[in-house]
Amino acid sequence: MIRKVREDCEAYGCFMLDYENIPLELQQLLFKTTAEMFDLPVETKLQYKKPCPKDRGYVLSNPFIPLYESFGVHCEKEVRAFEKLMWPQGNPQFCEVINSITAKVHELNLLLLRMIFESFGIEEYYKDKALDENIVGKFRSMKYRLLKRMKILLVSQFTLTKPT
């Protein structure tokens, strides 16, 4: 499997993976929870701003991307602050779902990163740099509206970054 992951990354820049450690129920809760988030009033969503422009908290549709909006949160502490801002009355399920899925995807990302290092024969470099402790996950959820049928597509993206 390690060789196949590396070959697909080199050939296609990506690969498909069936990861059974994220239960279907959690996936369904993720889509339900993010749909509730996008259903909040625009005025509420606009309150979420990030200090660093490249991290963008809430991205609203604009002339360049008229059918798109997204949210990005980066760590458990930020997810809790985001929940309190969006739902002053509280929404603990939101935090549970986002933190749970982010942890599971982070675990998968680290596993894949270790596999890729191993495929190049440099797994010791991975261990020496203690990459597991220095990589954090970002959660970004996106909503795309389709023009004709106005169906909604929800996409969640996870990115590994080194903390600044």
pLDDT value at position 83? 93
pLDDT value at position 86? 94
Q: How far apart are CA 96 and CA 123, in angstroms?
A: 33
How do strand 136-145 and strand 152-161 relate by DSSP bridges? antiparallel
pLDDT value at position 115? 87
- The closest alpha carbon to 72, from 82, 60, 50, 57, belongs to 57
pLDDT value at position 130? 62
pLDDT value at position 128? 65
Q: How far apart are CA 37 and CA 83, in angstroms?
A: 9
At residue 141, what is the residue type? S
Using 50 as the pLDDT threshold, list the residues of the chain that sit under it: 160
Q: How far is CA 87 from CA 44, 76, 143, 144, in A?
A: 9, 16, 19, 23
